[in-house]
Structure 1
């Protein structure tokens, strides 16, 4: 009798919380399918001095129905010092509404009713508060975004109080609230909570004749949060025995397929999984993985058969595009690559917006279509179907989209255009590519050669034509490089090279000198040598430019340097800086370091490292040399 009275008094207290001087509503015992009017008086709240107020609310019900709980704004109308508003209580699934108030222009300024929000509980026709009216409030704290939005860290003591009173009033609701109650006690972390919670878990599971997979999963989550992984694993196994075809078994089987190293066994395991679980959520991703594995195993016939058996929903168009492009680029199974690209295009055509695409899908879809058409054109080109390839490339390239394409694509497009007598038609795209620095050297050479052969043209006219196209981008590069140039004294030095010759700055006075500091153990140094050979070759007939490859920081016998140069076909002059005196004098902090000295004997350029792009390295060094020759 005493317990019942206390519970009744608690519920009356909950109702009274919503009838304070700050907040009251009408009708006093609202029912489902009613509009509730409320009055909010902020005079004694944190919003007492604010004038632009709004309410934010969620409706709540049983834990499983909290999908209805998206935070929503409610308009407040000012009446004197108070604000009034209305909320609707739907016919079903709602046990109440939780509100808080905030400054609409400064949303971090809030009134959260001391962390308990404002409550409008639903009553039945007899005036009794409906089930979940109390426990549902706890669900707002544990299962919705409202506390985070309001900047509130839920009070676990209050959450536990709400849940315990809900279960005292409605003990039949324990299956819906037991997990939330124990999870709150774990977060509460009162002394001795661990053994108590574990005992409560076992007691609850023992009370269930046949615990459901969800209950077993919830119990495992509770044990995991307490670090008892032995119990977690035991419950996982128990769950698999209860649900032998369930999600957990499917997940384990899917993982086993992913990690199976034997290709034959992997195919067998996949086939068995697909037969047993034809609607498994893991199946599309497994199928995409298998598609990639067929390619990696170089089983092209198997790949084609496998892809041909799949529904569109199990096909990743971008993966097929990657596979097909590699095959075409390597000129391997190119007809099959063409077929894969066609399938990818068909899949993309009817594809709905993927979950991993956050932006505008029509725009992204168009971008993917162009990627696929580029691959399709490549497959046709590699088979000598130049007319079809040229048409496909036109779907990829326009003068407006040149900047979005790889320079190699533009070069291939022009080659197909020339093979099909469409050079003049392709000219706007190619000229734009040259003008915005998206043209490869070979494309520019091809354009120059083609232009020179046109009626009335000469090699000189072609040279002038290309120079005119490149004028703006070259000017921009020179302006950009001008900002990078330095102006420091160039210390004099005299070193002996591998051939016993004396190499000195005094003997090279008035010349542009390119110094490349390197060592045989330096991987990036060696990787940059092909580019440096190209740069040196560009100026091999210019007596006013010298390249010196200064070996420094070698840290070993000098014979190692001789052996390296003997094994490689570089015609470099290699001065030996065994004591690192020159490297230190030129502020070399790491190798490779490139230093360029101008004709006036001043250091004008210094670059550390190698970016892996030989063409960019050659172009930048050549630009520096040309600028210094011009007196810049």
Structure 2
């Protein structure tokens, strides 16, 4: 009666499909060839003339990783299609099939989401264990449906698990968590207490639940949103395995959250000694390396790095630290040691799991270039330009100029000058200037070198650099023309810090730059060096005037006097105490730069500071030059 009871639900599960799908032998065994007939009438493929079968094997949950989809070519016979497949000899309880048009894979017959099943039988004709639970596993443990852009019927999945467990209660250890997970996803009314009872019942039935079972139970509670019970189970895990992953996670978190640096170091050292192979240790080592650096303990940082295996070093972080140290000329020999360690580790580190294998070769080469750039920087900062030059050669690529960094281009040419390779660096440097990827220091150094070449002078060098930048200037002009405005400039009269009257009437016929600022405004003060450079460009031009209008100060005037005395900027500072001028000129935030043309019209307005002094000077100077041309 047990076999008949089992066969009845199995026939019920497949009987609805017999009009479309038939196979022989009717009770196939492992290793046999199964012939089948598919009749597409009444299915989504009824009008298709080209049809293929796709199938996967199924069995116990642990073997579902073997369930890779495969195709079968079908032969048309009248209104039917026939094919055959060979059943594996091991790890199989049945096969699941779907039918589709191979030229249009989304045209598919999924048997209303049930798929077509061929259960495997024993030598007595009885289906093997997992005949139904394995079908559910196809829906939950394989991606068979996803290649057809379909989703499983959770009601059917739950039913299959329940039928399997009713027939084979001894298989509960294999199916309990998959079944309960399906109930959670199904989310029928009352599922929470039912799943909770299932978890409790199963764990109670185990003399000593394994760590894997406790982990699964906690994950089930979390999927239900019951974090209180999930945490209770995780506490059981820690008790059962005091040196396990969860205990390590808690210890690692304690190290991470410790604010006292001395205690943090001691806790990290204890963790590293107790759990030298912990998966949490690499991230802690990175955090501690950064901590030593931020606490200005360079010796301690180097000592830590020297104890770490290559798998626990973050070469990109070491690169950032070493470059900053070299750039600041802060213990440069140690910076060199750090970057040498990073280069050595990069050569032996395995591919990070978050980077696809197809991208790793390119990414590794890119990282190597970043590290070599820092290595070259540490060498040149120690005056070892002859050693730095070949390092720069590994960094500089003729194909990357458009994405290059202006400071790297500067360092490359300056190193070339020091090693008598300027001619070799000339073409790249000129292209960098043409593309706007050259600093002012690079352009000045290149101009001075060019002026010393045979037949050249400082004047011809200035002309040459000017010509290199001609396209760039025209592009900037076009861009500025598109954003320039034309509004009446409100009249103003203010008193500056020296007690002089500064008025718009006295500035008539001149190009006037108004820079609205306050002493408390960080971006305002940050932009002053750039504004000083811009003013210096026109310091001998009587038709250009810069006014640094103090507004929105909100404090005593003495604060402004004190600021200017401390910083000695050569600025004219009118005071807009009541914000009347700022409001008249539509100042919405500071810093705001406003440029007035010689006809008394507001032609340019910019709010904020982007942190790039060279770009600020270039743009503001270009606006002034364009308006001067209109005088």
In the superposition, the TM-score normalised over structure 1's length comes to 0.90
Q: CA deviation at 1:470?
A: 2.0
Compared with structure 1, are the counterparts of its residues 75 and 432 closer, same or farther at alpha carbon in structure 2 (3 Å cutoff)? Answer: farther
Pair 1:238 & 2:273 matched: no
Structure 1 residue 114, shift from structure 2 partner: 2.0
d(CA) in 2 for partners of 1:300, 1:558: 45
CA distance in 2, matches of 1:610, 1:579: 24
2:26 aligns with 28
Task: Name the SS for the 2:124 alignment partner.
Answer: coil
Which residue does 1:437 correspond to in 2?
436
Q: Deviations over 1:161-194 (max 9, x none)?
A: 1111111221111001111222333344444443
CA distance in 2, matches of 1:243, 1:389: 53
Change (3 A) 1:352 1:33: farther
Contact kept? 1:399, 1:432, Cα under 8 Å: no
Taking the aligned partners of 1:35 and 1:308, their CA distance within structure 2 comes to: 62
Cα distance in 1, alignment partners of residues 52 and 589 from structure 2: 61
Distance across 2 between alignment mates of 1:493 and 1:13: 92
Does residue 44 of the first structure (1) align with residue 42 of the second (2)? yes
Residue 464 of structure 1: how far off its partner (Å) = 1.6
Structure 2 counterpart SS, 1:346: helix
- Pick aligned residue for 1:207 from 205, 208, 215: 205
SS of residue matched to 2:595: strand
Q: Give the 3 Å change call, closer, same or farther, for CA 129–391 of structure 1 in structure 2.
A: same
Could you list the per-position Cα deviations for residues 406-448 of structure 1 after superposition, in whole angstroms to 9, with x for gaps in the alignment? 2222222222222222222222222222122111101111111
The structural deviation recorded for 1:564 is 5.1
Bigger mean CA deviation after superposition, 264-273 or 343-352: 264-273
Q: What is the aligned partner in structure 1 of residue 626 from structure 2?
A: 627
1:323-347 alpha-carbon deviations (Å, 9 max, x no partner): 2212222222322222222222222
Per mean C-alpha deviation after superposition, the further-off stretch among 112-121 and 53-62 is: 53-62
Tell me if the contact between 1:399 and 1:428 (Cα under 8 Å) persists in the aligned partners: no
Asked if 2 retains the 8 angstrom alpha-carbon contact of 1:515 and 1:547, the reply is yes
Counterpart contact for 2:516–2:582, Cα < 8 Å: yes
Partner of 1:136: 134
Indicate if the aligned counterparts of 2:488 and 2:601 stay in contact, CA closer than 8 A: yes
Look up the match of 1:331: 329
Does the 8 A contact of 1:398 with 1:429 survive in 2? Answer: no
Question: Which sits farther off after the overlay, 203-212 or 78-87?
Answer: 78-87
| Partner residue, 2:251 | 253
* Counterpart pick for 1:225 among 210, 213, 223: 223
Deviation of 1:390 (Å) = 1.3
CA deviation map 1:234-277 (0-9, x unaligned) = 22122222223322223223323333334444444444444443
1:62-121 CA-to-partner distances (Å, cap 9, x unmatched) read: 222332344555555555544455555433223233333455566555433222222232
Distance verdict in 2 for CA 1:291–1:30, change over 3 Å = farther
Structure 1 residues 46 and 558 mapped into 2: Cα distance closer, same or farther (>3 Å)?
farther
Alpha-carbon distance, 1:10 to partner:
0.3
User: Equivalent residue for 2:166?
Assistant: 168
2:539 is aligned with 1:536: no
CA distance in 2, matches of 1:466, 1:437: 12
Aligned twin of 2:417: 418
C-alpha contact (below 8 Å) 2:490/2:585 kept by paired residues:
no
- Residue 127 (1) aligns with residue 105 (2): no
3-state SS of paired residue (2:292):
helix
Counterpart in the other structure of 1:351: 349
Q: For 2:521 and 2:395, how far apart are their aligned partners in 1?
A: 42
Residue range with higher mean Cα deviation, 417-426 or 360-369? 417-426
Aligned length: 629
With over 3 angstroms needed to count, the CA separation of the structure-2 counterparts of 1:557 and 1:108, relative to structure 1, is farther
Equivalent residue runs for 1:266-305 within 5 Å: 266-305=264-303
* Gap change, CA 1:334 and 1:564, over 3 Å in 2: closer
The CA distance in 2 between the partners of 1:485 and 1:51, in whole Å, is: 66
Identify the residue that residue 198 of structure 1 maps to in structure 2: 196
In structure 1, the residue matched to 2:154 is: 156
Q: Cα deviations across residues 39-61 of structure 1 (Å, max 9, x unaligned)?
A: 43333123434566555544332
TM normalised by structure 2 equals 0.90
Does structure 2 retain, via aligned residues, the 8 Å contact 1:240–1:248? yes
CA contact (8 A) 2:3 2:126 kept: no
- Aligned pairs for 1:315-330 (under 5 A) are 315-330=313-328
Q: Would the aligned equivalents of 1:335 and 1:379 in 2 still touch at CA under 8 Å?
A: yes
Alpha-carbon shift at residue 149 of structure 1 (Å) = 4.7
Deviation of residue 401 (structure 1)?
A: 3.1
**Stretches of structure 1 lacking an aligned partner (at least 5 in a row):** none
Quote the offset at 1:387 in angstroms: 0.4
Could you tell me how far apart the structure 2 residues matched to 1:605 and 1:569 are? 27
2:111 counterpart (90, 93, 113): 113
Residue 575 of structure 1 deviates from its aligned partner by 4.3
Displacement of 1:583: 4.2
